Structures are given as structure tokens and as C-alpha cells.
Structure 1
Amino acid sequence: MDLETISLVLIPIIANVFFFRGIKYSSIIAGILEIILSLTLFINLPIISSYFYITRITWYFIIMVSSIYLLSVVFSHNYLKGEKTKISEREYFALLNFFASSMFFTLIINNLGLMWVGIEATTASTVILVITEGTETAIEAGWRYIIIVSAGVTFAFISVILVYYGLHSLQVSSILGTHYSLVLQLASAIALLGFGTKVGVFPVNTWLPDAHSESPAPVSALFSGVLLPVALYVLYIVYQISPLPMLYSAFSIVSIIIASISMASQTNFKRLFAYSTIENMNLALLGFVTGSIIGAIILLVAHAFGKAGAFYSSGSIFRMVGSKKIDEYGLWKLKFIPYSLLLSSLAVTGTPPFGTFVGEFLILSALLKFSIAEFALLIPFIAIAFISINSHISRMIFKGDKNLKEDNLMGIISLISSLISLAIGLFLIWWL
């Protein structure tokens, strides 16, 4: 079982053995194997040893990472064709594989300190991916990303040190449980600032719209769909050790409010979806804080596929029009992109019957019991986010009359991803 578990980390690295020839094909095989391995892990849960800590909650994050990893690798094949990039295709896929391996490592390891190492490794493996397109804006976004995130991860490291000081251990399976010492409360507060940088918690989320909007579409999908949830998973581990519900909920709500206001005035469709990610991650954090664990998990899983579909669609549009500006493109004439873009936009705004709607409903129900004032404050801004995204996207799809030609493979991947989010919602509504 230990070999099967460690294979999650090793398979993407082994794919890089084919660096000089066929790495993009070995990456696809790695993605398929990760899906198979993730599904077989479910049979043996929980897996708790001195090295590994995988519960049912962890498994949902693993299946998210493996799924979006495979979709992004396949999407990247045609996305990179004919593009002038700062790095070679081989380097791109090698970094993508290290990125996936780092996330798997963070999720399965039974040590909070090594989880921090995994989060730091994702930064090292993605900073070059952010500047793949080589524009001045992308390079500036890369610098902001590495400076802000590195500062945040430093605070996260301090929180890890304080956890060790307070409990004399970093083994997750042995330290989980509620503790109320001042040291651990301080650790939890600093973790909100540190790991919260990667999650997208205000005020340390300013890197996110820049990096997500300037990265290649498949990388943006991995960022928004799974990297932020992986960081949220680690933050939730710290939160369980020393809960600070009022502090966490306050920062979550402020983050959602600012993201919602920012969406209304956006003129860049990739930045629009980046702010939507901030909203959804903080809603999921609210779910963990208010005790709606199932709601948070449902939201994260459905959002992963919906947001990946949104960024895949955005990447296809950027390839067709050469711009990221929200404009009247007349996308309705195309075969796949208008449907994938519309469905993914509805998904990330929590529209019924998408899975995100079920997750948000459960979270908001728990929030209503937790704090009526916070619930009342939040509802108008969720409505603003919904109206902003869907009005911008409707304009792109239904207005205009431009002659555009889409890539079928990229369009199909985008549509599949957004349909999975819809399928999750339909299944849950039927099952519940």
C-alpha cells in the first residue's frame, strides 16, 4: 500500500524521464495512471501510517488534482502549437509534471512541516510556467507571484514552527484535535496569513489575478482548480488544531466582498475568472469554519471542473482573437466554446443545478446558523458576483458577429470539464 501511495508522487516525475523525446505523450500516460491510482486508493481508505495521512476528505482533493492534471496536459497539446513561448515545450511539460507531483506530495504526507515543503515546491515549479507566454505583463506577474507568495510561505513556516513548539510534533495524525494554548492560537492566526496567501485570502491575494490571467490557460486551470484547494487543505489542518472561527470567517467574508466588487468592473475575462476563484475559495473556507465540511468539499470539487472549463474556454478564445478583453465576439456561432464558456460561467457562480450550487447552499445554510449578520452581509455580494460574471460572458457569446475558427480538441476538453461540474450537481440533487 505504501508503494501504491508514493506512486502518486513518483508517476509525474517518471514521465519526465522522456524529457528529450515524447514527454508530452508520457505526461498524458502519467495523467491517466494518476486517475486510475486515485480511484483505487478509495477502496483502502483511510491510509494512516508514520509516512502517509489520507482520509476520505484527502481523497477528494487527490481526485481533483489527478483529473485536472490529465485534462490540462491533454489541452496543452494543441494550446502550445504555433505559440511563441519563453520556455520550450519539453520544459513546459516537465514543470507541469513537477507541479502535479508537488501537489500530490502535499496531500498524502503525514507531516505538517513536509506539507509546507510541498506548498513551497509548487511555487518553485510554477513561477516559470506563469511567464511561459513571455510578455512584459506576464514577466511582471511572475515577479509579483514569487515575491508575494514567498513572503506568505515564510509566514506559513513561522506558523509551522509555532505548532511544533506547542505540540512537540508535526505528525498530522497525532496532533489533530482542538487545542487552546496561546501559542497554537497565534500559529493558527499566522497560518491564515501564510497559507492564506496561496488560498487567496485578503489582503495577501493580490498576486492571484495577475498570475492567473497571465499564465497559459492549462496552468491557470491547475492554479484555480486545484492548487488553491491544496493550500486550503493545509490551512484547514492548522485550523483543526486551533480553531479561530470569528477571525477566519471575517477574513473570508471581506475577501468575498472585495472579489465580488472587483468582478463588476473587469475588462479582462481571465482576470474576471481569477477573482471568481477568490470568491469560491473563501466560500469553501467559510464552509470549513462553519462546520459544513461536506458543503466545502462539494463546492471545491464542482468548482475545480467548472473553473478549469472556464480557463480552457478563455484560452481558446485568446488563441482565436489574440486578446483577453471582454468584448462582443459573437461566440454563439462556434461549435463547442459558447457552450463550455456559458456552462462553466454558470458553474462557478453557483447556478442550480450545478454542483457548486449544492455546495454553496449547504455552506450558506451553515453560515445562517453561525451568524445571521454575516449571512445577511454576504448574500448581496454573491448576487453581484453572479450578475457580473454572467452578464460579461453573455456579452461575449451572444453579441457581435466576428468570424472565428475554434480548435475542436480544446473546445471538447473545455466542454467536458464544465459538463462534469453539471453532472456532479445533477447526481447530488437526485441522491439527496
Structure 2
Amino acid sequence: MIGLYVIAGLTLIPLVSSAFVFKERYASVVSSSLTLLLALLLRFNLPFINSEFYVTNFSWYFIVMVTSIYLLSTIYSLFYFNFKNKIEERNYFYFMNMFAASMLFTLTVNNLGLMWVGLEATTVSSVLLVTIEGTPSALEAGWRYLILVSSGVTFAFISIILFYYGLHNLTLSSILYPHYSPLFTLASAVALIGFGTKAGVFPVNTWLPDAHSEAPAPVSALFSGVLLPVAVYILHDVFIIAPLPELYSWLAVVSILIASIMISSQRYYKRMFAYSTIENMNLAILGIATGSETGILILLFTHAFAKAGAFYSSGVILKSIGSKEINEYGLLGNPIMAASLLLSSLGVTGAPPFGNFIGEFIILTSTIKAGLIAQFVVVIISLAIAFISINYHVSRIIFKEGEKLNEDKGLSTIALISSLIPLSIGVALVIL
């Protein structure tokens, strides 16, 4: 019974906090702190499976991931924004709470159809967060995001219909085992395109660099750090129901290759980190195809904090310098800002001993064991391109003597903390 209240609270608390319309920012901090606390308490009540909720040891890590970045982004937002009026501030925190509640609902509900509903609900709130600053480029990016993702979610809905037609049931606890027939093959393939739109799968990922580059830094952190992993989690469940290892692995590999090529030619650091997210999410999908659940968890969990740190650092640079372009700014005179950006870039590119490296290593090992040698070779080359490109561009930003900037220490500290978590996890895993 305790587990039931805890899981229900994960979704309800962010929604209830939005009722405090005159103290929205403080209610949001309390809400995000409570949801993280509830997520940690949930660990002692796992697995929890009933007719309404389905939470396992695997999904618990995603819940902790979401609640952690929700808390960090909420605190970061307090320092980042200078809202024009109370209405704008209230709307921002209201949509952020709704965004978090939608993701947590998706991760805990015991029904594949309702998971689709939860993921669709994230679109409503997140598109309004992308356009919150009201600039022409943000409005254009939000429009593209809405059109492309809504189209993709329509395909996802078709896959849900196909699964229901074949199973006559969408309760996860009842259907989560392999099914083999042409109908399920079609449903799984359509789901890969549909849910893959949110997960960053090629060719339905073109919205991602636009939305991530124009969204405010704390929103970009939520997008890259946890929204896309939630979509990957749904694909993980779909793959269990109807496994298609060849299709999933090759589409993931092609997505990784194209993302790495795009990274090398970027002019803007936020777009560069957005393409890096595509690379990491598809590496996780490759892990789905090869059955590497441990690798998926380590990769996505550490990536969430590393990529959040990268976007938090990007927000500090944007506020201090006023430009999104990759240029020789020279951040050595600003050690906290430089350290957070460097650590986050090393984290997202999988440099040892960061946890991302360990997750990538496990997934690549499972790829060899599965006999997917061609996929392995392409991924290794792609990861090398991405690693060199991102760290080269970041070094251009950092390693030059520059003037002391008007840096917000609060923002830089949050970015540094987020960037240090993947390193700490990696070191802990190596020691253990």
C-alpha cells in the first residue's frame, strides 16, 4: 500500500504544486525535491506491479533520472530567468511541472496505451516551454517540433492499435514477453518510427537540434537528459513484445553515423550537444537490440547528468557572452564555467573513466557477442568522429586566455555538480 501512494505521488505532486499560482517557483522547488525523495523511497518497494502501476528495478532508474534532472532544472531556472511579469513566471513553472508529471506517468503506468498518452502529454507542455522566450527562432523551432513529433506520435498510435488487435490487451504485466507473427513485426516496426520520433531515430529526428538549440538551457536539459530516454524506455518494452533486432540495430547505427557527421560540421554549441544526444540515444537503442539492459541503464543514467551539465554550461556561456556560436571565447579566466563545460563534454563523448564510457563499452561488447560485427565497426568509427569533434570544438571555447566574464556562480555551480555526477558514477563502478 505504501508503494501505491508513493507511485501516485510521483505524478500528482508536480500537478498539485501548480495550484500555488502566486508562489509557483517555490512550490516547484518543493515539488521536485519531494518527487526525488519519493523516487528514492520507492527503491524499497520494488518490484511494484498491480492493475494500475508497473514499476520494476529497470524502470526505477529512469524515474530517478527524471526526478533528479527535474530538481536540478527547477533550481537552475530560479537563477537563469529574469521573467517580465508574474504571469510568464507562473506559466513557465506550470508547464515544467506538467512536463515532469507526464514523464513520470509514462514510466509508472501499467498500460502500453496509457504510456502513449503520457508521451503525447509531454508534447503539449514541452512545446510551450520551447517557445517560452517568444523569439521568432524559438517559435519556428516550436512549430517544427509540434508538427514532426505529432506526426510521429500518430504512427506510434497506429502501432498501439496493431498491438491491441493482436493481443486484445495492453496491460504491460500481461503482455511483456515475445510475440512472433507478421502483425507484431509490423507493429514493432511502426512503433520504432513513431516512438523513435521522440527518441531521436533517423530520419524522424530533424526537430531535435532545432528545439534543443532554441529552448532555454534548463528545458534543453530536460529534453536531452530525460525526455528522450523515456521514449527509449517505451521502445525497450515494445522490443520485448515484438523483437526486431536487425531493424533496430541498423536504424540505430545509421542514426549514430549521421549524428556524428553532423556534429563535426556544427557552428553552434547547443546544436552540437543536441546531435550528441541523438548519438547516445541510438547507442541505447542498439543496446535494446542486443539485450544489454545493464549497458542501457548505465549509459542513459550518466548521460542524463552529463548532457544536463552540458546544457547548463551552455546557458551560462549564452548569458555571459550572448552568442550561441562555437568560437574562441577563452574561459580559462572563469574556472567553474570552464570545468563544467569540459567535464560535461568528456562525459557525453564517453571518455574514461566517466560512466558513459562504461555503458558504451558494455553495449559494444554485447554487439560483438550478438555477431553484429558490421554494426560494431560503423559505431566505433562514428563514436571516434563524435569524440574528436565535440572535444575539439569545446577546446576552442575553453583553452584560450580570456577576460573575466560576468559569470553567474550559482548557474555555473549547478552545471559543475551535474557534470561531476557521471564521473563519480564511473569511478565508483570501476572501483566496485
| TM-score of the pair, normalised by structure 2 | 0.98
Identity across matched positions, percent: 60
Cα distance in 1, alignment partners of residues 215 and 231 from structure 2: 19
Task: Map 1:87-236; keep pairs closer than 5 Å.
Answer: 88-236=88-236
Whether the 8 Å contact between 2:145 and 2:207 is mirrored in structure 1 is: yes
1:190 positional shift:
0.1
Tell me, yes or no, if structure 1 residue 56 matches structure 2 residue 60: no
Cα distance in 2, alignment partners of residues 2 and 239 from structure 1: 27
Cα distance in 1, alignment partners of residues 422 and 13 from structure 2: 26
Cα distance in 1, alignment partners of residues 137 and 424 from structure 2: 37
Task: Map 1:172-321; keep pairs closer than 5 Å.
Answer: 172-321=172-321
Give the corresponding residue for 1:374. 375
1:166 positional shift:
0.5
Amino acid at match of 1:7: G
Secondary structure class of the residue paired with 1:310: helix
Amino acid at match of 1:377: V
1:336 positional shift:
1.2
Whether the 8 Å contact between 1:106 and 1:115 is mirrored in structure 2 is: yes
Whether the 8 Å contact between 1:249 and 1:286 is mirrored in structure 2 is: yes
Moved over 3 A (4+): 83-87
1:402 positional shift:
4.0
Give the corresponding residue for 2:392. 391
Cα distance in 2, alignment partners of residues 120 and 395 from structure 1: 39
Cα distance in 2, alignment partners of residues 68 and 377 from structure 1: 32
Give the corresponding residue for 1:430. 431
After superposition, give the CA deviation of every residue in 1:227-285 in whole Å (9 maximum; x if it has no partner).
00001101111111000000000100000000000000101000000000000000011
After superposition, give the CA deviation of every residue in 1:5-53 in whole Å (9 maximum; x if it has no partner).
100000101111111x111011111111111100110111000000000
Amino acid at match of 2:5: L
Whether the 8 Å contact between 2:225 and 2:308 is mirrored in structure 1 is: yes
Whether the 8 Å contact between 1:86 and 1:131 is mirrored in structure 2 is: no
Cα distance in 2, alignment partners of residues 232 and 315 from structure 1: 26
Cα distance in 2, alignment partners of residues 209 and 242 from structure 1: 30
Secondary structure class of the residue paired with 2:18: helix
Amino acid at match of 1:18: F
Give the corresponding residue for 2:46. 45
- CA-atom RMSD in angstroms: 1.2
| TM-score of the pair, normalised by structure 1 | 0.98
Cα distance in 1, alignment partners of residues 303 and 87 from structure 2: 30
Cα distance in 2, alignment partners of residues 328 and 85 from structure 1: 35
Secondary structure class of the residue paired with 1:331: coil
After superposition, give the CA deviation of every residue in 1:302-335 in whole Å (9 maximum; x if it has no partner).
0000000000000110011111000111111114
Whether the 8 Å contact between 1:334 and 1:405 is mirrored in structure 2 is: no
Secondary structure class of the residue paired with 1:350: coil
Whether the 8 Å contact between 2:145 and 2:208 is mirrored in structure 1 is: yes
After superposition, give the CA deviation of every residue in 1:107-146 in whole Å (9 maximum; x if it has no partner).
0000000000000000001111101222111111000000
After superposition, give the CA deviation of every residue in 1:52-75 in whole Å (9 maximum; x if it has no partner).
000000000000000000000000
Whether the 8 Å contact between 1:86 and 1:133 is mirrored in structure 2 is: no
Give the corresponding residue for 1:2. 4
Give the corresponding residue for 1:401. 402
Cα distance in 2, alignment partners of residues 145 and 85 from structure 1: 26
After superposition, give the CA deviation of every residue in 1:373-396 in whole Å (9 maximum; x if it has no partner).
111122111100000000000110
Give the corresponding residue for 2:411. 410
1:181 positional shift:
1.2
Whether the 8 Å contact between 2:333 and 2:403 is mirrored in structure 1 is: no
Q: How many residues align?
A: 429
Whether the 8 Å contact between 1:256 and 1:282 is mirrored in structure 2 is: yes
Secondary structure class of the residue paired with 2:19: helix
1:403 positional shift:
4.1
Give the corresponding residue for 1:17. 19
After superposition, give the CA deviation of every residue in 1:50-103 in whole Å (9 maximum; x if it has no partner).
00000000000000000000000000001102x669970110000000000000
> Compared with structure 1, are the counterparts of its residues 268 and 249 closer, same or farther at alpha carbon in structure 2 (3 Å cutoff)?
same
Alignment gaps of 5+ in structure 2: none
Whether the 8 Å contact between 2:268 and 2:324 is mirrored in structure 1 is: yes
Cα distance in 2, alignment partners of residues 424 and 133 from structure 1: 35
When structure 1 is superposed on structure 2, of 351-360 and 398-407 the one drifting more is 398-407
1:369 positional shift:
1.9
Amino acid at match of 1:338: A
Alignment gaps of 5+ in structure 1: none
